[in-house]
Structure 1
């Protein structure tokens, strides 16, 4: 009988910390949903995204500059891969590709919301949790385990219970647009899990953000926004969601996904509608209802099933930029 090598306790602690980090990120996504929804009702969507990700880019650029300065003071090679450049080709092309997927997710979701209900759009967007294991198995030849598939199925069922109304069962033209959004977000999670493992984290994240800024600004040029609606509340939302959510937490997502599979991360991200519902209840007085509670329990059960099925398995090996083949 073949015996598997024991897993070091430190590796399990690192993986639990990564899971906790991804769950905290999902919590922040959900809680800030109400504020973002209010902001884009007063500011055009792509103008808002341009400002939000521009603030994130400044934050990450400063982070990278400080990191390089500290490395030079120690006499060490600056992080960023071969050649000592923090924005070397591996991080740039990987970050731009991944950032393009992130932008497409936002773009298709925004277009689709014009032709379908918010509840149905939320459910279809959440189907990215189902698409991630399919993409991971197809592109990277890494089929998910049985427990992960059970977790995905439970999470998808929970999102359906929370989001869908009987009238939403009809297919609208916006549904296909939102489905493309789910594909883009699923591909983004998969790309971060795999490309982010082979690049220096800060420069990889910065290139992602720059891609979203450039593409959002290109679309925003057609919105012809003149600054109306940019009040203190919207500015506060930009300050929180820019440097923190789209800057620091996107970097934390890259760090966390380097230590787990894309499928497992997707199941954790399925908690976003639960946290959004709780945020709506706490901040805007929205009712959860029986369906919200049942759906939340199913999503939580899916996350626990995926986690319990992973117990005792070896964490994914990390690839450092220095170990990349030339």
Structure 2
């Protein structure tokens, strides 16, 4: 039963992340993207600061340094994602961002100066073909698709950076909650002047229902609830649930379950958002998701062999 509970938790995290694209799109329809980003970060940071205070966790210097750098890269990823989903479908965004699954091992191979496996390169090629079909090719690709693909590239670097910066070292253990809290505070600080100077925090009105001069996130449910969901569901709960679950299962099983995120993105967009994909777009989505699973399988097979080779060279 415990194993099933962990699996359900991981599937829940994947579903929440998959639904985040539709929530971001809904929020961005009634307020500037800057306001979505600011209030998402602000709500999430406030909760994490409260949790840290209750847990009486003090921030360490190494955690502050890691959180500052990762906070900048994370903010860039979310900015590109949110601007992107405002100009494309939530389903497209959820599928396109999953290209990160294939790109991460490619970047890690480049950083380690080793040649990636042929199967991994083939999986990346299939993903590129899928992206082309999903977006309609270079002649019909939307600006939002380009921004989400850019977010996937930045997220790739962000993930590799997380792995390198938080890797356990003798005499040093970095805790996840403080690092995440710093990242959220950094994002709040970065987006606050952008939103305030651009009028995004106080000058929006949801289709004229709320006067721009008196608009606040609390006065507009069409903005408030999607943003609270993004902050508490996608930025706080999903992260803590993921950490709890990963500690109780294998990384391989966790990656498989979390890799269903693009599937959930399409299902949520179709079931709630009324998205109806065409045949070509559906084929493209299938190729992208299939390539990501292929890339995961290759990585799980190749990584232990590479680590064993590194250990032999060190000895």
Task: Tell me whether the two structures share a fold, i.e. TM-score over 0.5.
Answer: yes
1:159-238 pair list within 5 angstroms: 159-165=131-137, 167-168=139-140, 180-198=150-168, 199-224=174-199, 225-226=201-202, 228-229=205-206, 230=217, 231-238=220-227
RMSD after superposition: 4.1
Q: Distance in 2 between matches of 1:270 and 1:157?
A: 19
Q: Offset of 1:129 from its aligned partner? A: 4.2
> 1:41-79: per-residue Cα shift (whole Å, max 9, x none)?
1111122211111111122222223333xxxxxxxxx6x
Asked whether the 8 Å contact 1:268–1:303 carries over to 2, the reply is: no
Matched, 1:88 2:60: yes
> Who is 1:286 aligned against?
275
Structure 1 unaligned residues grouped into runs of 5+? 1-12, 69-77, 79-85, 318-326
Q: 1:272 to 1:158 in 2, by over 3 A?
A: farther
In structure 1, C-alpha distance between the alignment counterparts of 2:303 and 2:41, rounded to whole Å: 37
Separation in structure 1 between the aligned mates of residue 114 and residue 11 of structure 2, nearest angstrom: 23
Contact 1:128 1:186 in 2 (8 A): yes
Whole-Å Cα distance in 2 between the matches of residues 255 and 296 of structure 1?
30
Distance 1:308 1:129 in 2: 11
157-166 vs 55-64, greater mean Cα deviation: 157-166
- In the other structure, the counterpart of 1:3 is none
Indicate if the aligned counterparts of 1:161 and 1:294 stay in contact, CA closer than 8 A: yes
Give the TM-score taking structure 1 as reference length. 0.68
Alignment-derived partner of residue 74 in structure 1: none
How many pairs does the alignment contain? 279
Gaps of 5+ in 2: 169-173, 207-216, 308-315
2-structure distance, mates of 1:136, 1:35: 32
Pick one of 9, 25, 31 that aligns with 2:13. Answer: 25
What does 1:1-326 correspond to in 2, within 5 Å?
24-68=12-56, 86-108=58-80, 122=93, 127-141=99-113, 145-165=117-137, 167-168=139-140, 180-198=150-168, 199-224=174-199, 225-226=201-202, 228-229=205-206, 230=217, 231-252=220-241, 260=251, 272-309=261-298, 310=300, 314=304
Aligned partners of 2:302, 2:110: CA distance in 1, in Å? 25
* Distance of aligned partners of 1:246 and 1:175 in 2 relative to their CA distance in 1, 3 Å threshold: closer
How does the TM-score come out when normalised to structure 2? 0.70
Distance 2:257 2:10 in 1: 7
Q: Find the residue that maps to 2:197 and give its secondary structure.
A: coil
8 Å CA contact 2:20, 2:234 repeated in 1: no
Are the structure 2 counterparts of residues 191 and 312 from structure 1 closer, same or farther at C-alpha, using a change threshold of 3 Å? Answer: closer
Change (3 A) 1:189 1:44: same
